[in-house]
Amino acid sequence: MAGLLNRSLDELWRLVRRIPAGQVISYGDLGKLMKHPATGRVVGRWMAQAPSDVPWWRVVARDGTFPIGKRGPKLSLEQEQLLREEAVPFLNSGRVDISACSWEP
């Protein structure tokens, strides 16, 4: 028996891998897409253990910020840089313009 947690993790990595370059999705919306929905907070916890082949930087908070910055400022900057390289639109406030580049499966 695989376990519900591991299956959810697999599904999560599958979903994130489907996000095209130049687009983003929020933690909460990602959770809603799963067979057994998870809250944004839980998705965030799981993202911390994302395999290296998962484009974790395309997942942002609902308001277009990087909550990761509170704990790891370095990682936050890396995320912003990666998104800018993909031509993701930013607002003057430094947040991602999520309404202009959100991924819808």
Distance, in Å, from the CA atom of 13 to the CA atom of 15, rounded to the nearest integer, reads 5
Which position has the token pair 């253990």?
49
Near DNA by CB under 7 A: residue from 40, 96, 101, 103? 40
- The smaller minimum CB distance to DNA, of residues 45 and 87, is found at 45
Near DNA by CB under 7 A: residue from 42, 82, 97, 102? 42
> Maximum CA pair distance of the chain?
49
Please, what's the b/e burial string for 2-27 (b: 16 or more CB within 10 A of its CB; e: otherwise)?
Answer: eeeeeebeeebbebbeebeeebbbbb
Q: Does 34 bind DNA (CB under 7 A)?
A: no
Near DNA in 1-30, by CB under 7 A: 5, 26-29
Distance, in Å, from the CA atom of 32 to the CA atom of 102, rounded to the nearest integer, reads 15
Q: How far is the CB of 25 from DNA (least distance, A)?
A: 9
Near DNA by CB under 7 A: residue from 45, 73, 81, 84? 45
* Residue ranges binding DNA (CB under 7 A): 5, 26-29, 39-48, 50, 56-57, 59, 61-63, 67-68, 70-71, 75, 79, 93
